[in-house]
């Protein structure tokens, strides 16, 4: 999987996606605003994220690269199917639909890989190796940063 870094433009909140190549600036495709990024050469050679290239913060977390909308759609379909069968007084099929829904959700969840996410600017790093210093999401750390406060140039 190629290295992809996705983050939001500070001017228009548009999505910016760059590779791991060292570059000083990234241009927003939506508004044309140039934004400073600092991609260290070690990121490309080691494939491990140590600091956020979009904002400079060092606190990042890992999570599954699971599309939340897809997960909600799978669960919603299972609940609707279960409700349908319960209304028809067929509890076996109602429970079976919930079990099948859980199995599908688990299968999709186990197939997807991990991404690294910045607590401050919520930049997402796909295709990089996991940094063992980065733990799963912690709400206290998110509250500490409050989001979108860059350490270097705005």
Strand residue runs (E) in the chain: 4-8, 15-18, 25-27, 34-36, 60-64, 114-118, 124-126
Q: What is the rounded distance in angstroms from the CA atom of residue 41 to the CA atom of residue 10?
A: 24
Range of the domain at 25: 4-64+114-145
pLDDT tens column, 32-88: 888 888 887 777 778 888 888 888 888 899 998 888 898 899 999 999 999 999 999
In this structure, the answer to whether residues 59 and 130 fall within a common structural domain is yes
Q: What tokens appear for 10 in the block?
A: 């500070």
Q: What is the pLDDT of residue 146?
A: 65
Q: Is residue 152 part of a domain?
A: no
Give me the numbers of helices (H) and strands (E) for the chain, helices first please: 4, 7
Q: What is the rounded distance in angstroms from the CA atom of residue 37 to the CA atom of residue 110?
A: 32
Q: Assess whether pLDDT exceeds 80 at residue 28.
A: yes
Q: Is residue 20 part of a domain?
A: yes
Q: What is the rounded distance in angstroms from the CA atom of residue 49 to the CA atom of residue 107?
A: 27
> What is the overall mean pLDDT for the chain?
84
Q: What is the rounded distance in angstroms from the CA atom of residue 93 to the CA atom of residue 118?
A: 43
Q: Band of the pLDDT at 9, cuts 50, 70, 90?
A: confident
In this structure, the answer to whether residues 72 and 132 fall within a common structural domain is no
Q: What is the pLDDT of residue 154?
A: 42
């Amino acid at each position: 999987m190629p290295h992809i870094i996705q983050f939001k433009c500070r001017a228009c909140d548009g999505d910016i996606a760059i590779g791991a190549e060292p570059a000083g600036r990234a241009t927003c495709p939506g508004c044309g605003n140039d934004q400073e990024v600092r991609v260290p050469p070690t990121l490309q050679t080691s494939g491990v994220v140590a600091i956020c290239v979009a904002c400079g913060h060092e606190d990042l977390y890992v999570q599954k690269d699971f599309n939340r909308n897809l997960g909600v759609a799978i669960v919603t379909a299972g609940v609707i199917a279960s409700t349908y069968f319960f209304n028809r007084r067929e509890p076996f099929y109602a429970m079976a639909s919930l079990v099948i829904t859980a199995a599908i959700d688990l299968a999709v969840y186990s197939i997807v890989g991990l991404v690294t996410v910045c607590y401050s600017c919520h930049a997402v790093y796909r295709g990089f190796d996991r940094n063992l210093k980065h733990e799963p999401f912690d709400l206290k750390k998110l509250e500490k940063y409050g989001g979108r406060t860059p350490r270097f140039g705005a």
